[in-house]
Structure 1
């Protein structure tokens, strides 16, 4: 019997996917109103000096002169010309940003951006990122994953565990990384994305020292949890993805993500881990502590800044360079972490320079937590120029101060009901209505309600984001 068409509890959309996802990539460009769009996956948000410089060149030479940061720590180039795809792919490949053309859209990995820099957390999960990326690109079957399937690698502080990952790894006490000098220094960043094609990956064996990692990790898939050795965590995440694909095949509904599987559809994670030769024991999924996004400022020997509305000019982008440890970490909250400064003085000087360049560097800034979709004129579906309208605490058609600023929930401005790129979890929805007004709704605990002080008088029912940005 074929699967029945029914609404998904999370997405408010059909459980039947009768086509592949249309997510843009670095090679599959999306045609928008302002030109073509390329989305470059950056596992863990990691970039080297050379890679970051190449993206700045691409923004100026081929795109509209700016770069956008997505809610998965990826980077987008907009306004690309019709015939620039070949030149863009060559630039990216030469910089090691396309280790495999067939896998470029499935390299969706977010990770704790301060891992290894501030003494918190239980492991430098950036090492897991590099190993998982290598494994993803080494397997042909992983190309069947949707461009929206997400891996979340949390170092135990709880900052990315709640971002809706399909497969989540959570480091547990004692899970220290086994690469000497890696913590906080970005010492392995130079090899990220540089291992060539998928066929050559096996020759590298254990390039990131995972065999030397200690402690344990929790691998989470849906409501299942298994405890594995920290050294096996990347292989466990890969096995979990394979278990999902097998379940999706049995379901026959073309699910792109775990939450789209039909109710009652089993995912045999235990079997997948055993087949991958990963020793695992069932574990109750604990209540993970929830950490806020990294606040801007100096954290140890790292600098943290945010990009207003996730958009920076090429000149601002270049202000991030040079990178003291040859490593830039793009965060899922549209910010940047620069680790590896010699001391607090050097970090403070760079922070001041980035403030002058227009980055958010003040932890009290009302712009923190304020995001927006592309809006007009770049998106044909948008009903407003949301980026021009987005002012912290003020919304057309609502009472002054209606939208919470610092200390409140994340606020996302959307030009249409797709709500592209909205935050996961609790947030405030500012939705354009097409008449110069906005509906303001608070989403908490899975429910929605109008914000106090708004001119709205009824609850707004929303559809979850389906863009995977």
Structure 2
């Protein structure tokens, strides 16, 4: 049984409402674990999603020895270890430190950097951002003010193809055609043009300026979008801060070039790309990915993995992709799994009203025919939901699900499915 009804539109505009955080940032890390129903949880920051094979092995070893054995990918290309046993924090930190995954204990939660995962591999970007990534991470870990950033503050490095545009980063640096870079704060309509060589330093200084402005305004905020300052004013303040330290920065409006989504599953020039259903990597899948990698793996913000294979044999690439697909990784760009996401749900979360991952898998065929991607949530918090147009599938306290089509910030219709088997009919009711 289901019912559909209109609901009032919900409009959102950048920095329309000031936010004040009444408590400290409790975002988990490697040194600050979060207690969940399935044990402790650690979130390991992986700047740019780049892992050496040795680091990948260290994560697998930690998951096997201390946790549930699986690796859980996040929407920022980071890794979560779940089901960790009590009092394992010191051992976990020692294991990850030895692998180079904890370059600064004081900054481990703020190393949130996403980067174009195919940069330097397929020849499509304007610049290989790996240099920017290394410089920004090193500068971030050396900055005393940056320790005060929240665990949710996000940097994005775009090689010019525009794949980072929709990720909602607080500071985005995008390569532009004149060999420079455009620095944009939050969802601002305009940014600052800086030289490519100064881009990492400019990105860090922009974040430090955000902290200064927030402190001067007495604003307890975690993200640029929460700051009670118009983007234009904040951008001008950042411009003055950059100029004061000798970084030339001029206002610049983006050229309007449309961005592109993350890499689809399959073979790209110089890389193999796979998608991880619901972001959960089994030990076998992780092992096969490590075996396929020559030197490194790149985790993507779309819960995928890119395996660089420069100069590889095309036939060998096809065989390797087939082996990865045999483990349950998605190698078909038409797979409905690319249109489905979910929070952890039961039994991992006490607040969840349902085992949303099991229900999402049972209803995979319905998701493939939906007009919009689906995101399953165990409760109204909708933890981890993506940005952009989607259908929220939210477990109801009394059973069943509420479906809500979110388009351009509006929620025009809601359908109630009393049983997961009603999903296809509910989808038709809200998207017709």
* TM-score, normalised via structure 2 length: 0.89
The question of whether the paired residues in 2 share the 8 Å contact of 1:440 and 1:451 is answered with yes
> Which residue of structure 1 lines up, in the alignment, with residue 379 of structure 2?
416
Answer 1 or 2: higher relative contact order, Cα 8 Å, separation at least 6. Answer: 2
Equivalent residue for 1:454, pick from 420, 426, 432: 426
The question of whether the paired residues in 2 share the 8 Å contact of 1:161 and 1:288 is answered with no
> Which residue of structure 2 lines up, in the alignment, with residue 220 of structure 1?
184
2:135 is the counterpart of 1:148: no
The question of whether the paired residues in 2 share the 8 Å contact of 1:351 and 1:361 is answered with yes
Aligned ranges 1:173-192 → 2 under 5 Å: 173=177
Q: Which runs of 5+ in 2 are unaligned?
A: 1-10, 416-424
Measured after TM superposition, the shift of residue 343 of structure 1 is 2.5
> Which residue of structure 1 lines up, in the alignment, with residue 396 of structure 2?
433
> Which residue of structure 2 lines up, in the alignment, with residue 85 of structure 1?
89
Taking the aligned partners of 1:264 and 1:226, their CA distance within structure 2 comes to 15
Aligned ranges 1:255-274 → 2 under 5 Å: 255-264=221-230, 266-267=233-234, 268-274=237-243
Taking the aligned partners of 2:36 and 2:353, their CA distance within structure 1 comes to 15
Q: Structure 1's 49 and 406: CA in aligned 2 closer, same or farther, altered over 3 A? A: farther
2:76 is the counterpart of 1:75: no
> Which residue of structure 1 lines up, in the alignment, with residue 406 of structure 2?
443
Partner of 1:368: helix, strand, or coil?
A: helix
The question of whether the paired residues in 1 share the 8 Å contact of 2:47 and 2:137 is answered with yes
> Which residue of structure 1 lines up, in the alignment, with residue 220 of structure 2?
254
Count matched residues.
Answer: 406
Aligned ranges 1:164-243 → 2 under 5 Å: 164-173=168-177, 215-222=179-186, 223=188, 224-243=190-209
2:45 is the counterpart of 1:41: yes
Taking the aligned partners of 1:52 and 1:278, their CA distance within structure 2 comes to 37
1:220-259 Cα distance to aligned partner (Å, 9 max, x none): 0142411111111111111110121111112212110011
Structure 1 window deviating more from structure 2 (89-98 vs 237-246): it is: 237-246
Taking the aligned partners of 1:15 and 1:102, their CA distance within structure 2 comes to 26
* TM-score, normalised via structure 1 length: 0.82
Partner of 1:156: helix, strand, or coil?
A: coil
Partner of 1:349: helix, strand, or coil?
A: helix
Measured after TM superposition, the shift of residue 435 of structure 1 is 2.9
1:184-239 Cα distance to aligned partner (Å, 9 max, x none): xxxxxxxxxxxxxxxxxxxxxxxxxxxxxxx1110001424111111111111111
The question of whether the paired residues in 1 share the 8 Å contact of 2:402 and 2:414 is answered with no
Taking the aligned partners of 2:15 and 2:386, their CA distance within structure 1 comes to 14
Equivalent residue for 2:254, pick from 285, 303, 308: 285
The question of whether the paired residues in 1 share the 8 Å contact of 2:279 and 2:304 is answered with yes
More helix by share: 2
The question of whether the paired residues in 2 share the 8 Å contact of 1:17 and 1:255 is answered with yes
> Which residue of structure 1 lines up, in the alignment, with residue 348 of structure 2?
378
Partner of 2:80: helix, strand, or coil?
A: strand
Partner of 1:163: helix, strand, or coil?
A: coil
